[in-house]
Amino acid sequence: MTDKSVRVRFAPSPTGPLHAGGVRTALYNYLFARQTGGQMLLRIEDTDQARYVPGAENYILEALAWLGISIDEGPNVGGPHAPYRQSERKEMYRDYAEKLVFEGKAYYAFDTPEELDAMRKRLEEAKVPAAQYNAITRLQMTNSLTLPIGETKKRLESGEPYVIRMQIQPKDDIRFNDLIRGWVVVHSSQIDDKVLLKSDGMPTYHLANIVDDHLMGITHVIRGEEWLPSAPMHVLLYRYLGWEATMPQFAHLPLLLKPDGNGKLSKRDADLGGFPIFPLQWTDPKTGEVAKGFREEGYYPEATANFLALLGWNAGTEQEIFSMEELIEAFSFERVHKSGAKFDIQKAMWFNQQYLKDKDDRTMAAQVQPLFANKGIEISDEQAIQIVHLLKDRVHFVREIVDESAFLFSAPESYDQDIVGKKWNEDAQRGIAALADTLDTYDGEFGADNIKHILAETMETIGIKMGKIMQALRLAVTGSGTGPDLMVTMEILGKEEVMRRLRRAVAVL
């Protein structure tokens, strides 16, 4: 930590939907910013125009809003460092790239694609482990380090295509202290002369993100582990540009792994497993292919955020359910894991179930009524509340209440034969017939407590213990040997329907 006010940024590329790993990165940035009273920026890194996907930026904005991650500065809210799209900042990057060339820290490279391919082929044939454009190979290529000054000038003035490459010095150790991984040391021989400015005049990620982070006063760069190999080069760029004293602190987050822990989580894994890895549903504008979203699958945003927060971090306690406010208070880099985190969709469902159980019955009833209506079932507000109360502890998603309540709207046409064989005996038949007769003459309130009382009295009268009849009674009412509270189920069904079901079971079984 520094005395400087914390400023973090989430900087996605609009190349498609936001992966769960990206969402977690945004979430950790947000938690840290809010915990420290700092600011969180959103910056759209769209320098790779070839990979730009229409609709992706709006998707990012909508996804963050759905999850409750609010942005202090960005393309949707503005701010003192606008614009927040890198494509709109194009001209400023060239100035920094040219400055590095002037100072001998970068150079013009005129190599054609064919020349680059030939260079790689030569290195591969020579069994060089990594075919890189580096301190050795650059001396055999077409660039301003190998060409006479006049020749370089002539090529530039003629409009010949070129890129600007960073000039990595040999025999140099690059060190930085990662907030999660500790000290990282990389020798410059492991780094190639990355392109900083492309032939179309657009900066690469490496240049643009360093310039923007500096100009926007970013104090902490919190991003995925996949950027760790690029970090030494970024540290060098801060040094080359004279900004090393104000360089942000780095924190590289662990990967999200496949459910079995073998390899990085991908869209293909999600497709094969039938689970979402994107916050919102995404329709590919080219193919029309639809990818599942947590929102559309019925997950609550707060449950999704809670699940993602604990993928690679824990509070050091037994607590698992955290509100956003509790996450903000508890978050720390010290407890972020170095190793990858398995993406366990069953755990995500469990989180959603916990949040669902905590919801108000009336609120959930308003959510299920349209779902029933879509199936042609009209229910009153009171019925919806009763059904929600009956089933909410048994489902993971609101939509499942509709399926789980099917037995309330149609009498059983068949009965669980395993339960029939074990529990449907002479006592069961006699007891259920007696209960139907008792209900026929009962004209009081048909509530769960009264039903239980009537059942107990009837069984006592005919000399059958209640425990001997309960599973058979459930079978007669629902067709199954298991299910939610039977007395409440009978209350929802109403006296007439319960009697019909009891008598049909006696007749059929």
Cβ within 8 Å of residue 415, ≥6 positions away:
424, 475, 479, 505, 508, 509
Of 83, 28, 22, 12, the C-alpha closest to 313 is: 28
In DSSP notation, 269-302 reads: HHHHHT---BSS-EE-TTT--EE-BTTTTT--HH
495 neighbors 451 (Cβ within 8 angstroms): no
Pairing of strands 341-342, 163-166: unpaired
Catalytic residues: 267
Query: Structure tokens of 391?
Result: 């089933």
Distance CA 401, CA 391 (A): 6
Strand order in the sheet with 106-109: 106-109, 163-166, 195-197
Q: Where are the alpha helices (DSSP H) in 69-112?
A: 90-102
Which positions ≥6 away from 81 have C-beta within 8 Å?
41, 73, 215, 216, 217
Sign of torsion over alpha carbons 47, 103, 81, 244? positive
Which three-class secondary structure state does DSSP give residue 343?
Answer: coil
Centroid of chain to Cα 91: 34
CA angle 40, 44, 49 (to 5 degrees): 170
**Residue 53: C-alpha distances to residues 152, 286, 287, 295, 463 (Å):** 37, 9, 12, 21, 74
